Structure 1
Amino acid sequence: MTHGSELSVHMRRVLDASRPAVFRALTDPRELARWWGPDGFTIPSAESDLRPGGAYRIAMRPPEGDPFHLVGEFLRVEPPERLAYTFRWEDPDPEDRETVVTLSLHDIGPARSELILDQGDFASERRRALHEEGWSQGLGKLGELLASQRD
């Protein structure tokens, strides 16, 4: 979604899990490795110091090719309702720049949550669209994972 001259991604997903379960899936490196990234990608490693000012580093391996890394710093860690962090690629594409991801969780039932994702401001429409596609596929996998963990 584009807001004026700002290039950002805004998504809303309803997930069949409680806010604490979703927050854990968003922050626990073992859980993250099970769903993170676009279809076909794997996560060989994920490291996280989950606290404001703490760093994270995620290795992503595409279906073909060498792994690359995503790094950043946690800005807000408020379980189970909010998470915000910087997002940048090691060895970035010339069109990349550091963005901020904000994830908000809201209860919508006993074991259902709404996830709101915002990320921006991107340097180009091409990079914004690439991230939107990646998030869409990754959040789809997250939804499947959480649904499969219910009773």
Structure 2
Amino acid sequence: MTQEGELRLHLQRTLDGLCSVVFRELTEPQKLARWWGPDGFTVPSVESELRPGGAYRIAMQPPEGELFYLVGEFIEVESPERLSYTFRWEDPDPEDRETVVTLSLHDLDAARSELVLDQGDFATERRRALHEEGWSQSLGKLGELLAAPLDC
């Protein structure tokens, strides 16, 4: 239940692939680097210790500008249904604060799953909107990647 005044983000996406496939895309560094970040961004490196209490660090390179880092700690790792972690920028904007991201996966049928993303609480509506745009673009790229035919 959300309290009045809390700034939270909630997104749902239907993706091609069962939970086990999607979970690997969310957690394996080389797979994550293929789709992570807003349009035009690249991910030069992903460091991850995938276990409760383990840390992660994602290098993000915008189309123009300096490389920056997203860091945090895993809270829950329940393959392939649930992943929760803290989310903060290594050098935060004054309007930023650490948030918690929770990703839940549910198989819909033999070939598709639903991903539900919840993140919060944000310090300002502007930062929540920025994250909504970034996640929407990232999840769009993930959806395209999962829908693409496999190369043999």
Report the AA paired with residue 39 of structure 1.
Answer: D
TM-score, length-normalised on structure 1? 0.96
Q: Structure 2: where are the runs of 5+ without partners?
A: none
Q: Distance in 1 between matches of 2:150 and 2:80?
A: 18
Report the AA paired with residue 46 of structure 1.
Answer: V
* Pair 1:110–1:57, CA change in 2 (3 A): same
Residues 16-60 of structure 1: per-residue CA shift (max 9 Å, x gap): 111000000000000000000000000010010000000000000
Match of 1:46 in 2: 46
Q: Distance in 2 between matches of 1:135 and 1:65?
A: 20
The alpha carbon displacement at 1:4 in A equals 2.3
Q: Distance in 1 between matches of 2:57 and 2:97?
A: 16
TM-score, length-normalised on structure 2? 0.96
Match of 2:105 in 1: 105
Moved >2 Å (runs of 4+): none
Q: Distance in 1 between matches of 2:149 and 2:71?
A: 28
Match of 2:137 in 1: 137
Give the root-mean-square deviation of aligned CA atoms: 1.2
Q: Distance in 2 between matches of 1:70 and 1:64?
A: 17
Asked if residue 124 in structure 1 is aligned to residue 124 in structure 2, the reply is yes
SS at match of 1:109: coil
Q: Structure 1: where are the runs of 5+ without partners?
A: none
SS at match of 2:7: strand
The answer to whether the Cα contact below 8 Å between 1:17 and 1:150 also exists between their aligned partners in 2 is: no
Between Structure 1 and Structure 2, how many residues are aligned? 150
Q: Distance in 2 between matches of 1:75 and 1:142?
A: 23
Q: Distance in 2 between matches of 1:10 and 1:103?
A: 10
Asked if residue 77 in structure 1 is aligned to residue 77 in structure 2, the reply is yes
